[in-house]
A = this chain, B = another copy of it.
Amino acid sequence: MSPAATAQKTISFTDAYRLALDEALGADPTVFLLGEDIGDEEGGGVFKVTKGLSTKYGKHRVRTTPISEEAIVGAAVGAALAGMRPVAEIMLMNFVTVAMDQIVNHAAKLRFMSGGQTGVPITIRTRTGAGAGTAGQHSDMLEAWFAHVAGMKVVVPSTPADAMGLLTSCIFDDDPCLFIEDSLTRALTGPAPPPGHRVPLGRANVSHEGSDVSVIGYGRPIRDALALAERLKGEGISVEVVDLRTVSPLDTETVLKSVAKTRRAVVVHEAPRSFGVGAEVTARIQEHLYDSLAAPVLRVASRDVPVPFAKVLEQEYLYKPAAIEAAIRRTLDSKARR
């Protein structure tokens, strides 16, 4: 839905990303974009996020690149070292696999390795997610890799307004940020943010208050959690939803505050369960709140398999809202130990 259609009151994720880029390009001459097909001569990007921007700001600031992800990220890194704020697009997250050296060995480390002399204020926008039948090489959620790399910031929005505010914060942040967009929900809409909207990095958002159990996650499953929270209210179950927004550095404080209150936690993400972000959140909660937990911290995530093509398998792969509900009920069934 275009903003006009709803009298500027709601925008889609795609609109939100574009808005953030547009405002940043307009506000700061050091901001520029680079990525495959992003210019208007190339249709404004495969997902139309950058549509109109090269026409508005020039091809020198909205640069279509060859299919060369290592060179794309590297060019962003170098330009950042020289005072620019580049926003690089990696069309889909599985393709970051060809740019890992630049991200991990360079972008994330150059500040530390230079003793603080050179920072790398780049934003890498990428998108991914299962559910659209693009199978094993076009759907992976790999955020856990980058969360494990010191120096990186990893950001995943769950609403269009957050998308706009978080992306803006990434662009103007002085550290390398990986901003992950969800392929499947890109057309979904939500309330439009005010111009200049920023959402601080490194801060989780309690998007629904509750007292019985904390559901902690980020990105797509937050919508499911909010819907559940509404629905379970009817049953007298009070669910608190904590949207991490920034996966790393993790806002442990907000997470612990919530779980200290509810004494029960369910951690949710779309990425496969094992060695995912949920493991870290779980480990931290039980480390800090062992004595006050009333139930084990449960995880809901996708299956530990490559993303399958066949719809029935793809759906089986994906985390399920019903599993979030089941986990909530399980934690409530657990008898408190103290």
Residues of A within 8 A of B (CB): 70, 94-95, 97-98, 100-101, 103-105, 108-109, 112-113, 135-137, 140, 142, 144-145, 147-148, 150-151, 248, 250, 271-272, 274-280, 282-283, 286-287, 290-291, 295-299, 304-306, 308, 334, 337-338
Please state if A105 and B113 are interface contacts (CB–CB under 8 Å). Answer: no
Bound state CA distance, A286 and B136, in angstroms? 31
Whole-angstrom distance between the Cβ of A155 and the nearest chain B Cβ: 15
Task: Verify A305–B150 contact, CB threshold 8 A.
Answer: yes
Residues on B with beta carbons closer than 8 Å to the beta carbon of A274: 147-148, 248, 250, 280
Residues of B within 8 A of A308 (CB): 112
Contact (Cβ within 8 A) B290 A275:
no
Contact B105 A272 (CB under 8 A): no
Bound together, the chains give a CA A287 to CA B113 distance in angstroms of 39
Closest 9 CB pairs of A and B: A290-B296, A279-B279, A97-B100, A148-B275, A97-B101, A282-B283, A279-B280, A279-B283, A147-B275
Known contacts A97-B101, A248-B275; is-contact A296 B304 (Cβ 8 Å): no
Q: How many copies does the complex hold?
A: 2
Q: Complex formed: what's the CA distance from A279 to B284 in Å? A: 8
Q: Is B306 a contact partner of A287 (Cβ separation < 8 A)?
A: no
Pairs across A and B, CB under 8 Å, 12 listed: A70-B98, A94-B104, A97-B101, A98-B100, A98-B101, A113-B306, A145-B148, A248-B274, A250-B274, A279-B283, A282-B283, A287-B299
Closest approach, in angstroms, between the C-beta of A294 and any C-beta of chain B?
A: 10
Interfacial chain B residues near A304, Cβ < 8 Å? 150
Point out the residues of chain B lying under 8 angstroms from A280, CB to CB.
Answer: 274-275, 279
Known: A283-B283, A287-B298. A148 touches B137 (CB 8 A): no
Across-interface contacts of A275 in B (CB, < 8 A) = 144, 147-148, 248, 277, 279-280
Whether A297 lies near B286 (C-beta < 8 A) is: yes
- A287: contacting residue among B151, B291, B297, CB under 8 A: B297
Beyond A274-B280, A282-B282, 13 extra complex contacts between A and B, CB < 8 Å: A105-B136, A109-B136, A150-B272, A151-B306, A248-B274, A250-B274, A275-B279, A275-B280, A278-B283, A283-B283, A283-B299, A291-B337, A337-B337
Complex interface: chain B residues within 8 A of A101 (CB)? 95, 97-98
Collect the chain B residues with CB atoms within 8 Å of residue A287's CB: 282, 296-299
- The answer to whether A145 and B147 touch (CB under 8 A), given A113-B136, A287-B296, is no
Asked whether A135 lies within 8 Å of B113 as measured between CB atoms, the reply is yes
